[in-house]
């Protein structure tokens, strides 16, 4: 329990360490009463170039006065915390002078997020208080303490940030309500999709294209709002927005077809991101997908550890067992097969596949190639021959972008043609073409999917040490560092935020200590982790028991994807 000291105590400490060596900042660690709020300096950085100091500000609800109705329900609470983190971020840009000195000196920032509304650890709220968890670069010239700037940060800038962002009376209440109620409506539609026999929904008027390849902001200028084909139109009566109408994509096998640059991949990308809630005015706020959807692609070079890829690949040369297939350097086809099986292992109910990022020989063998290379010589059962059994036997739907493999028309339930970013239902025409131009290929399915065998990680395959130090963390959005190994997540496309990657790194460490024992299956371990996160919050996985402010919650699929790509992983 931290002893709460008067804020003047902090001021006198700052004065006493002015112009001393940087390590003198360690004396500031502690809790301070600023009257309207409490300040907690939880971790002090070792030098100006190190990770910034971790700081919290807690405002009691007697002062903050956020209505209980805004955070009683989970979806509203996540959205409220997201909104307050964004307010805090804007306030730091408004009142804090920024970099002043060496390295990260003078910086004040919070993990505020991008276009998606994620569960984050940056802001916490309950009936007693609202708490912002952020980062400060304690200022120095070289490695000499700049006390006057530190005093300005704590006693002039931060009080203004708090007043501007953590009090209900000071935030934009109309904008806040829109933010919270939209998230609640998005969750309502997502929870309603299965009951209506749908896997995805995109509302009328949605703006799906993004501004550029490096910007997730909506395209401006000449844009074409989405309009639903009449045959696919559905509606939802939401709790706050009333009736929302748009295009519903039913369960089963759906093809998205069309010419190049007409919006096929753009629609699939919006569906892929529809597992997350989005900001108002994002353009995709009403593009909503069931939570158990996974984007699948080929991933040459990845490691695979004892995955049953036999529904897709059998009879490899030299008698290699594909029921427990392992490799340090997967091909396009073996990687795509493993990615699907690993997703099914975690409970995936919708596969999202773009022909452009798939292995051609995994997706299809046409009639001519079948005649040239007979089935006895071909170990791959194409996805074309498993996509319907996946739905009919496993209850797993698929949405595929198809530009050139017309044989997929034979197995499709729905076919959506994109023409200048406008969708048309051409399912009936596709069936007529299949009758008029029959395929000359023969089905090649050999094995049913059957029941997936549980895979249990051995604890000894996880070593967080690199040399004498524990080395667990993230490098941007695409890399987890775990001990001596780097886990490459570049092709895990629904991982969207570096804070999710940071959380995954610590989740692996947490699971290794608590659940990975060679008996608990990977899927069960991830379910236990999900339960712990629900019960205790994201900070439960912090290795130092800190109230870390830089986590965003990843989905179970991305947690498992990272574990499956650890090159030291051993499976029982």
- Rounded Cα distance between 495 and 490, Å, is 9
- Rounded Cα distance between 255 and 433, Å, is 15
Give residue limits of the domains in the chain.
Answer: 4-171, 201-453, 459-564
Condensed to tens digits (0 to 9), the pLDDT of residues 385-442 reads 999 999 999 999 999 999 999 999 999 999 999 999 999 999 999 999 999 999 889 9
Sign of the dihedral through C-alpha 152, 155, 159, 160: negative
Provide, rounded to the nearest whole percent, the portion of the chain with pLDDT above 70.
Answer: 100
Displacement of CA 116 from its chain's centroid (Å): 9
Residue of higher predicted confidence among 543 and 557: 557
- Rounded Cα distance between 91 and 160, Å, is 8
Q: Which of 405, 435, 561, 419 is nearest to 494 (CA)?
A: 561
Condensed to tens digits (0 to 9), the pLDDT of residues 228-275 reads 999 999 999 999 999 999 999 999 999 999 999 899 999 999 999 999
**pTM of the full structure:** 0.96
Average pLDDT over every residue of 334-341 = 98
Q: Does domain 201-453 have CATH number 3.30.70?
A: no
> Given this model, what pLDDT does residue 190 score?
98
Tell whether the model's pLDDT for residue 1 goes beyond 70.
no
Tokens of residue 342, six digits: 């690993």
The mean pLDDT of the chain is: 95
Average pLDDT over every residue of 508-533 = 96
Q: 134 and 548 in contact (C-beta within 8 Å)? A: no
Q: 317 and 343 in contact (C-beta within 8 Å)? A: no
- Rounded Cα distance between 503 and 497, Å, is 10
- Rounded Cα distance between 158 and 139, Å, is 15
With a CB cutoff of 8 Å and minimum separation 6, the contacts of 569 are 303, 305, 457, 461, 462, 563
Tokens of residue 154, six digits: 């704590």
Q: Which of 174, 165, 166, 157 is nearest to 62 (CA)?
A: 166
Sign of the dihedral through C-alpha 381, 383, 384, 390: positive
Condensed to tens digits (0 to 9), the pLDDT of residues 264-291 reads 999 999 999 999 999 999 999 999 999 9
> Given this model, what pLDDT does residue 456 score?
96
- Rounded Cα distance between 173 and 184, Å, is 16
Across-strand partners of 380? 313
> Given this model, what pLDDT does residue 544 score?
76
Average pLDDT over every residue of 357-371 = 93
Q: 379 and 320 in contact (C-beta within 8 Å)? A: no
Residue recorded with tokens 């029959």: 438
Element (H, E) at 53: strand 53-60
Tokens of residue 129, six digits: 């208080």
- Rounded Cα distance between 36 and 2, Å, is 18
Tell whether the model's pLDDT for residue 382 goes beyond 80.
yes
> Given this model, what pLDDT does residue 268 score?
98
Q: Which of 275, 91, 248 is nearest to 170 (CA)?
A: 91
What strand order describes the sheet that includes 233-238? Answer: 233-238, 242-250, 198-203, 287-289
Q: How confident is the model at residue 499 (pLDDT cuts 50, 70, 90)?
A: very high
> Given this model, what pLDDT does residue 446 score?
75
Length of the chain in terms of residues written: 572
Tell whether the model's pLDDT for residue 486 goes beyond 70.
yes
CB atoms within 10 A of CB 126: 12
Q: 496 and 273 in contact (C-beta within 8 Å)? A: yes
């Amino acid at each position: 329990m931290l002893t709460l000291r008067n804020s003047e105590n902090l001021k006198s400490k700052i004065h006493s360490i002015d112009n001393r060596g940087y390590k003198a900042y360690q004396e500031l660690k502690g809790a301070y009463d600023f009257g309207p709020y409490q300040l907690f300096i939880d971790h002090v950085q070792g030098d100006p170039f190190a990770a910034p100091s971790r700081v919290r500000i807690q405002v009691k609800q007697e002062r903050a006065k956020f209505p209980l109705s805004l955070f009683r329900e989970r979806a509203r609470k996540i959205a409220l915390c997201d909104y307050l983190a964004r307010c805090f971020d804007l306030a730091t840009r408004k009142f804090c002078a920024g970099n002043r000195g060496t390295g990260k000196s003078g910086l004040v920032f919070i993990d505020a997020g991008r276009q998606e509304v994620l569960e984050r650890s940056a802001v916490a709220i309950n009936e007693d208080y609202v708490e912002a968890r952020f980062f400060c670069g304690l200022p120095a010239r070289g490695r000499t303490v700049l006390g006057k700037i530190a005093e300005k940060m704590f006693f002039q800038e931060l009080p203004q940030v708090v007043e501007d962002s953590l009090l209900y009376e000071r935030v934009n209440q109309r904008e806040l309500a829109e933010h919270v109620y939209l998230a609640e409506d998005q969750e309502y539609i997502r929870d309603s999709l299965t009951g209506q026999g749908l896997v995805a929904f995109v509302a009328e008027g949605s703006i799906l294209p993004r501004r550029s390849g490096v910007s997730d902001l909506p395209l401006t200028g000449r844009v074409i709002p989405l309009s639903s084909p009449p045959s696919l139109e559905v509606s939802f009566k939401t709790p706050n927005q009333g009736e929302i109408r748009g295009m519903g994509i039913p369960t089963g096998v759906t093809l998205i077809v069309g010419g190049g640059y007409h919006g096929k991949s753009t629609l699939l990308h919006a569906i892929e991101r529809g597992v997350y809630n989005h900001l108002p005015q994002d353009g995709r706020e009403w593009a909503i997908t069931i939570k158990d959807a996974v984007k699948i692609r080929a991933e040459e070079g990845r490691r695979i550890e004892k995955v049953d890829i036999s529904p897709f690949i059998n009879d490899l040369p030299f008698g290699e067992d594909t029921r427990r297939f392992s490799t340090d350097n997967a091909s396009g086809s073996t990687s795509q097969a493993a990615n699907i099986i690993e997703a099914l292992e975690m409970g995936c109910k919708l596969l999202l596949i773009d022909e452009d990022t798939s292995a051609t020989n995994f997706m299809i063998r046409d009639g001519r190639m079948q005649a040239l290379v007979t089935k006895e010589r071909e170990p791959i059962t194409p996805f074309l021959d498993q996509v319907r059994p996946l739905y009919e036997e496993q209850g797993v739907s698929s949405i595929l972008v198809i530009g050139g493999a017309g044989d997929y028309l034979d197995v499709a339930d729905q076919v959506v043609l994109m023409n200048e970013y406008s969708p048309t239902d051409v399912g009936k025409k596709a069936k007529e073409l299949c009758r008029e131009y029959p395929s000359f290929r023969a089905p090649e399915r050999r094995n049913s999917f059957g029941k997936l065998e549980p895979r249990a990680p051995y604890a000894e395959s996880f070593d967080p040490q690199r040399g004498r130090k524990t080395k667990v963390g993230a490098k941007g959005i695409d890399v987890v560092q775990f001990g001596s190994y780097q886990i490459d997540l570049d092709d895990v496309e629904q991982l969207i935020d570096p804070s999710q990657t940071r959380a995954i790194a610590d989740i692996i460490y947490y699971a290794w200590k608590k659940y990975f024992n060679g008996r608990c299956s990977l899927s069960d371990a991830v379910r236990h982790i999900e339960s712990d996160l629900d019960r205790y919050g994201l900070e439960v996985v912090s290795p130092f028991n800190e109230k870390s402010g830089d986590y965003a919650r990843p989905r179970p699929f991305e947690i498992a994807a990272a574990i499956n790509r650890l090159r030291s992983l051993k499976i029982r």
